[in-house]
Amino acid sequence: THFTSPIRRYPDVLVHRLIQAEIEKEKIKTEELETLCKHSTHMEILATKAERDSIKLMQIKYMLDKEGEVFDAVISGVIARGVFVEVVENKCEGMVKAKDLPGDYFVHDQKNHSFVGEKTGKKYQLGDKTRVMLVKADKVKKRLDFQVLS
């Protein structure tokens, strides 16, 4: 193994200790190892969440004065309540609620990662390019709300 990011250092040290114990024919308690592994996993999950939260906060701060502006975007995610869009020029990501998709009533197609208009057949799916307007940059709710223009 090798040393990598700071969050991975302790698991790497554990691997080195296991290798050393094997070489020296020492016994390591399974319970102790499981506890340490669970703790490392928990800390990695917390670090990942903190990283995502800080990125989202910086995106919102950056976009605060851009409400009403129009951007080229790509649909980066599709869930039952709407689509996530990522602005091409700055990688900021936010949501377009399904009820706000224009021109039709759109039905979520989970299998195909899309929304399909009931009357028009218009489809919004993962990877589609679109134009969006920033409706709200909300620091309290920690989200960017967009509206699809095309």
Q: How far is CA 47 from the centre of its chain?
A: 14
pLDDT digits over 38-58, tens only? 998 898 899 899 999 999 999
Q: Which domain covers residue 123, as residue numbers? A: 67-148
Give domain status of residue 1, yes or no: no
Please list, in sequence order, all residues whose beta carbon lies within 8 angstroms of the beta carbon of residue 59, skipping any fewer than 6 positions away.
90, 92, 93, 144
What total of structural domains would you count in the chain?
A: 2
Judgement on whether residues 73 and 144 belong to the same structural domain of the protein? yes
pLDDT < 70 regions, the chain? 1-8, 150
Structure confidence at residue 28 (pLDDT): 81
Judgement on whether residues 108 and 137 belong to the same structural domain of the protein? yes
3-state secondary structure at position 103: coil
Q: How far apart are CA 123 and CA 101, in angstroms?
A: 10
Judgement on whether residues 57 and 75 belong to the same structural domain of the protein? no
Instruction: Find, among 141, 137, 145, 147, the residue nearest to 61 by Cα.
Output: 137
Q: How far apart are CA 146 and CA 96, in angstroms?
A: 5
